[in-house]
Structure 1
Amino acid sequence: MIVVAGEALIDLVVTADGQRAVPGGSPANVAVTLARLDQPVRLLARLGPDGYGRQIADHLAANRVDLRWAVHAEEPTSVAVATLNAAGQASYEFRLDGTADWQWTPQELPDLAGSSATALHTGSLALALAPGAHVLEGLLSGERDRDGLTLSIDLNLRPSIVTDRAAEQERVRRQIRLAHLVKASDEDLAWLYPDRSVGDVLAEWREAGVSCAVVTRGGEGALLLAPNGALHEQQAVRTTVVDTVGAGDSFTGGLLAALADVDALGDRPADRLAAVTEQQWSRVLRQAATVAALTCAHRGADPPRKPEVDALLTAAG
């Protein structure tokens, strides 16, 4: 079982034709992607008591995301306003003050050591906004010390919300040391480290103890630095782009699902990732890119199901 921790919010998607409210949030999108790829997944989230919160819970349950660790919060649901341009690319505005996702307490966290979890994934705003970010960081720290499951972080930075670049650099420097797998976009790195190359950043992360680092580059594909220092490159899978909402999250879900399929998640995580072969890394990246491409071909954060992914992978050889 893969555990995903973090925000489950409402994306209020605005287009020239009007607006619609759809469940979203980066960690929740990753969880749905994993479930649609037939991976057992449990979401550790705080769900509001309002209509939006019920809509999110219904959506997650309908997609077979296990909610037994979800917290029934008293605070309202967070809202992200996603405005799409003519090319389908999204810009975001967030309504987050006093909402449910950021109010974690240590008492709300489960005992992962007593569970069947093989991996814990988190990131995005859940690791950036206090007070909850400190609680989830503590969870990562304890699990890193225990060495019992693979820890994954997606930076997914939001400079429009967390604007202090120096503080974000320090936070990322501290948190990536807790993870075995770190994923970022080229936009994340361009904002976080405007005067540094991607290669320099990845080398620093590897030195800090990250086993595997991945950078997505939109239409240019993705890069993966493997535990042995080899750099793998994956071209973007061509598709007709409807919009890019949820594409990065579905890439992460596809990546984790592919790693689970080759038994690379679980106890002794650094050893498991080091055992992944060159050919397997290529397949892992290809699946992640395929899942992201199929998501871009759908409207909104609507990741594909496993048969659709398998069919495209088979057709591509």
Structure 2
Amino acid sequence: MIVVAGEALIDLVVTAEGQRAVPGGSPANVAVTLARLDEPVRLLARIGTDEYGRQLTEHLTSNRVDLAWAVRADQPTSVAVATLNATGQASYEFRLAGTADWQWTPQELPELAGSPATALHTGSLALALTPGAQVLEDLLAREHRRDGLTVSIDLNLRPSIVTDRAAEQARVRRQVSLAHLVKASDEDLAWLYPDRTVSDVLAGWREAGVSCAVVTRGGEGAWLLAPDGSLHEQPAVRTTVVDTVGAGDAFTGGLLAALADLDALGDRPASRLAAVSAQQWAEVLRQAATVAALTCAHRGADPPRRAEVEALLATAS
């Protein structure tokens, strides 16, 4: 079972035709992607009991995301206003003050030792906004020390919300050192490190102990730095883009699902990832890119199911 920790919020999607409220949040999107790829997944989230919270609960359970560890919170649900331009690219405005997602207390977190968890994935605003970010960071530190599962982080930075670049650099430096697998977009890195190259950043992460680092590059594809130091490149899978909402989260879910299928997640995580062959890394990247492309072909954060992914992979091969 993969455990995903972090926000489950409402995307208020605004287009020329009007607006609609749809379930979202980067970690929740990753969890739904994993579930649709037939990977057992449990979401560790704080979900409000308001109408938006009930909409999120229904969406997650209908997609077979396990909510056994979710906290029913008194605070309202977070809202992200996603405005789409004519090409389907999304820009975001967030309504987060006093909402449920960021109020974690240590007592609300489960004990992962002895559970069937093989990986813990988190990232985005859940690791950036206080007071809950520190609680989740402590969880990452504890699990990294235990060495009993794979720790995965997707930076998914939001400079419009967390604007202090120096503070974000310090936070990311701390948190990356607690992960075995780190994923970021080229936009994340361009904002976070305007004076550094991607290769320099990845080399630094490797020195910090990260086994595998992935950088997504939108329509240019993705790079993956493997545990042996080799760099793998995957071109973007061509598709008709409806919008890009949730594409990065779908990529992350596809990546984790592919690694789970290889039995590359679990205890002794560095050793498991080191055992993945070059050919397998290429297949992992191809699956992640395919999942992201199929999501771009759908409206909103609507990741594909396993059969749809396998059909496109078979066609491409």
Range into which the TM-score falls when normalised by the shorter chain: over 0.9
> Partner residue of 1:43?
43
- The one-letter amino acid of 2:40's match is P
> Partner residue of 1:201?
201
SS in 2 for 1:113: coil
Q: TM-score, normalised by structure 2?
A: 1.00
Gaps of 5+ in 2: none
> Partner residue of 1:243?
243
Q: TM-score, normalised by structure 1?
A: 1.00
* Cα displacement string for residues 244-302 of structure 1 (whole angstroms, at most 9, x for unaligned residues): 00000000000000000000000000000000000000000000000000000000000
Question: 5 Å matches for 1:133-152?
Answer: 133-152=133-152
Question: 5 Å matches for 1:1-317?
Answer: 1-317=1-317
Provide the rounded CA distance (Å) in 1 between the counterparts of 2:77 and 2:232.
Answer: 39
Provide the rounded CA distance (Å) in 2 between the counterparts of 1:310 and 1:32.
Answer: 17
Provide the rounded CA distance (Å) in 1 between the counterparts of 2:68 and 2:172.
Answer: 30
Q: CA deviation at 1:232?
A: 0.1
- The one-letter amino acid of 2:158's match is R
SS in 2 for 1:148: coil
Provide the rounded CA distance (Å) in 1 between the counterparts of 2:114 and 2:284.
Answer: 29
Provide the rounded CA distance (Å) in 1 between the counterparts of 2:259 and 2:128.
Answer: 26
SS in 1 for 2:137: helix
Provide the rounded CA distance (Å) in 1 between the counterparts of 2:38 and 2:44.
Answer: 18
- The one-letter amino acid of 1:316's match is A
Provide the rounded CA distance (Å) in 1 between the counterparts of 2:76 and 2:115.
Answer: 29
Q: CA deviation at 1:13?
A: 0.1
Provide the rounded CA distance (Å) in 1 between the counterparts of 2:279 and 2:48.
Answer: 44
SS in 1 for 2:4: strand
Provide the rounded CA distance (Å) in 2 between the counterparts of 1:197 and 1:140.
Answer: 27
Provide the rounded CA distance (Å) in 2 between the counterparts of 1:277 and 1:235.
Answer: 19
SS in 2 for 1:114: coil
Q: CA deviation at 1:310?
A: 0.2
Provide the rounded CA distance (Å) in 1 between the counterparts of 2:155 and 2:173.
Answer: 11
Provide the rounded CA distance (Å) in 1 between the counterparts of 2:72 and 2:49.
Answer: 7
Provide the rounded CA distance (Å) in 1 between the counterparts of 2:140 and 2:165.
Answer: 23
SS in 2 for 1:130: coil
* Cα displacement string for residues 131-187 of structure 1 (whole angstroms, at most 9, x for unaligned residues): 000000000000000000000000000000000000000000000000000000000
Q: CA deviation at 1:49?
A: 1.0
C-alpha RMSD of the superposition: 0.2
Between the aligned residues of both structures, percent identity stands at: 85
Q: CA deviation at 1:114?
A: 1.9
Provide the rounded CA distance (Å) in 2 between the counterparts of 1:241 and 1:142.
Answer: 40
Provide the rounded CA distance (Å) in 1 between the counterparts of 2:301 and 2:117.
Answer: 25
Provide the rounded CA distance (Å) in 1 between the counterparts of 2:88 and 2:103.
Answer: 33
- The one-letter amino acid of 1:314's match is A
Provide the rounded CA distance (Å) in 2 between the counterparts of 1:264 and 1:68.
Answer: 25
- The one-letter amino acid of 1:137's match is E
Provide the rounded CA distance (Å) in 1 between the counterparts of 2:283 and 2:314.
Answer: 12
Deviation above 3 Å: which 4+ runs of structure 1?
Answer: none
